Amino acid sequence: MRLWSINPGYLDSKGLVALWREALLAQHVLMGKTVGYKNHPQLIRFKNTSNPVGAIASYLRAVAVEAKSRGYKFDKSKIQNRRINSKILVTNGQAEYEFQHLLNKLKSREPNLYISLRDSKRINLHPLFSKIRGDIEPWEVV
């Protein structure tokens, strides 16, 4: 499971569809509707909010917006009718790590997208996140 901190606009179509499925799974986990994945490290930052289900629902809405901008029809009725009004903090080290991780995937999977992104100087975050200084997050599996 990978719940990207970086903006979903960076993802190729395969990555965006995978993110949608994985975030829906995360929503089920946070609602207590699954047996597995309960302790997955990607869920820690959502669990640490005052409203974990609202946080993942807000996350999913932004993914759905990106999908719609590309002409995809993700079923938004699967998103819980909850939201969070605050941002989740993420370190610049984490954002840089994730961006490089994505570039490594795109190099072979979507070479043209890789070329267009590889020299990016500023990494935009998913709208739910706000950047702070710091290293890779301790929950990240490097």
Give the pTM: 0.95
Under 8 Å CB-to-CB from 28, ≥6 apart: which residues? Answer: 34
CA distances from 24 to 33, 78, 117 (A): 11, 8, 27
Q: What is the pLDDT of residues 63-122, one digit of tens each?
A: 999 999 999 999 999 999 999 999 999 999 999 999 999 999 999 999 999 999 999 999
DSSP letter (8 states) at residue 140: -
Q: What residues are paired with 99 via a beta bridge?
A: none
Inter-residue contact 92 to 133 (CB < 8 Å): yes
Can you tell me the distance from the alpha carbon of 13 to that of 84, in angstroms, rounded to the nearest whole number? 27
